[in-house]
Amino acid sequence: MEAVSEFALVKPASLDAVLEARKANPEAQLLGGGTDLVVNIRRGIVAPPVLIDMTGVAELRAIHADAGRLEIGASATLAEVAEHAGVLAHYPVVAQAAASIAGPTHRQMGTVGGNICLDTRCIFYNQSEWWRSANNHCLKTVGDMCHVAPKSRGVCFATYSGDLAPALMTLDAEVDVAHPKGRRTMPLKDLYIGHARHDGSGTGDGKHYLALKPGEFVVGVRAKGVSGLRSAYDKIRIRKSIEYPVAGVAVALRRDGDTLADLRVAITGTNPRPVLLDGTRALCGGKLDARVVKGLDDLVRDQIMSMKTTFTPGHYRRRVAGVLARRLAEKLFNN
């Protein structure tokens, strides 16, 4: 049994108090439900001296969902999102993604902010301290090489596995971020910078995967309703319950008569960021036929990584992502 490092717990009741607590404790880490962070503390992966519990801020727990707009506060729980009548009725992709995360007890505790900002994962990282130390650690902690890709030139390929982000990205969601001087809003897809490019052209990787600046934190997410948009989420996991995705796929599309009028596909569990596939809109304008299926498969092959950061081979995850995307698109189009 590993000893948990000592930490102090602060539970602010307002956003201003969160900002104050962050200013007073620059080394602090934010705590949502703790369902991932506390595991990482137990494994000695991180050892924050102070945890700032976000669940006491009432305004961060609100959920609004009707045909016109979706707004979810960072401290709403996954269970609240999965069971919300408005989310189920108008944004099924989000309700389905939330309902697929971990197990019922995790969903009671786990929050939207914690899921969106979930740490990236790797078989060489999500291990105990003695295991990692016996393997000389790796780039994501205190080591100097990547065991997945020893010639990675400083790039980490740890995988982003949160289920909510791809679902929200198919709705063109935005994320609200608070910082000491106010707030800013950005497209949710821009929160994720884990492009992991060997040539140094990308800004981030599996170690630096969020565009949050020091002192910033997520306040909530929102999206506009789109009339006629059909959406769904599905994932493959090793066990059928309580398990991160081998690959998770969100699809949203619009059908206009026999024509595929809009198509959005986002994938998690494969790259150091959730990937909103580029190029899907070029597949629209005709029937959902063999040309679209082939085009979708090509986009998945080109944009989905095949690094072996989990127990399943990377090329298997990529194939699974392609199959799920095709199945969901066909199901939504035909129903």
Percent composition of the chain: helix, strand, coil (DSSP 3-state, to 5): 35, 20, 45
Tell me the two tokens of residue 321: 């992502």
Among residues 200, 204, 174, which one has the least CA distance to residue 192?
A: 204
Binding residues for ligand SF4, rule: CB under 6 A, are 122, 124-125, 138-140, 146-148, 156-158, 206, 309
The answer to whether 58 contacts ligand FAD (rule: CB under 6 A) is no
CB 326 within 8 A of CB 300: no
The reply to whether 74 sits near ligand FAD by the rule CB under 6 A is yes
CB of 298 closer than 8 Å to CB of 307: no
CA distance 131 to 147: 13
Q: Which does 301 bind (CB under 5 to 8 A by kind): ligand SF4, ligand FAD, none?
A: none
Nearest partner of 116 among 231, 219, 12, judged by Cα:
219
- Token look-up 């291990």 returns 127
Cβ-based nearer residue to ligand FAD, 79 or 196: 79
**Nearer of residues 36 and 260 to ligand FAD, judged by Cβ:** 36
By CB under 6 A, name the one of 19, 54, 70, 276 that touches ligand FAD.
Answer: 54
- Determine how many CB atoms are found less than 10 A away from the CB of residue 70: 24
Residue 30 binding ligand FAD, by CB under 6 A: yes
- CA–CA dist 52, 249 (Å, integer): 32
Q: How far apart are CA 333 and CA 335, in angstroms?
A: 6
Binding mask 299-318 for ligand FAD (x = CB under 6 A): --------------------
**101: contact with ligand FAD by CB under 6 A:** yes
What is the smallest separation between the CB atom of 153 and ligand SF4, expressed in angstroms? 11
Q: Which does 125 bind (CB under 5 to 8 A by kind): ligand FAD, ligand SF4, none?
A: ligand SF4
What x-and-dash track marks residues 173-202 binding ligand FAD by CB under 6 A? ------------------------------
Which are the contacts of 130, defined by CB distance < 8 A and separation ≥ 6? none
- The amino acid that residue 322 corresponds to is G
List the interface residues with ligand FAD, window 105-144 (CB under 6 A): 106, 109-111, 113-115, 117-119
Task: Return d(Cα 286, Cα 306) in angstroms, integer.
Answer: 31
Q: Which residue in 250, 240, 243, 237 sits closest to 316, CA to CA?
A: 237
Q: Contacting ligand FAD (CB under 6 A), which of 19, 28, 35, 223?
A: 35
User: How far is 314 from 16, CA to CA, in rounded Å?
Assistant: 43
Q: Considering beta carbons, is residue 111 or 310 the nearer one to ligand SF4?
A: 310
Of the pair 39, 134, the CB lying nearest ligand FAD is at 39
Distance of CA 109 to the CA centre of its chain: 17
User: Which residue from 325, 312, 297 is spatially nearest to 244, judged by alpha carbons?
Assistant: 312
Q: How far is the CB of 196 from ligand SF4 (least distance, A)?
A: 9
| 30 binding partner (options ligand FAD, ligand SF4, none; Cβ < 5 to 8 Å by kind) | ligand FAD
Least distance to ligand FAD, CB of residue 177, Å: 8
Minimum gap (Å) between residue 99 Cβ and ligand SF4: 29
Q: What sign has the CA pseudo-torsion 252, 227, 192, 47?
A: negative
Stretch that binds ligand FAD, among 1-9, 87-95, 131-139, 160-168 (CB under 6 A): 160-168
Q: Which of 102, 139, 168, 296 binds ligand FAD (CB under 6 A)?
A: 102
Single residue of 7, 12, 17, 29 touching ligand FAD by CB under 6 A: 29
Q: Which residues of the chain form contacts with ligand FAD (CB under 6 A)? A: 29-37, 39, 54, 74, 78, 101-102, 106, 109-111, 113-115, 117-119, 161-163, 217-218, 242-245
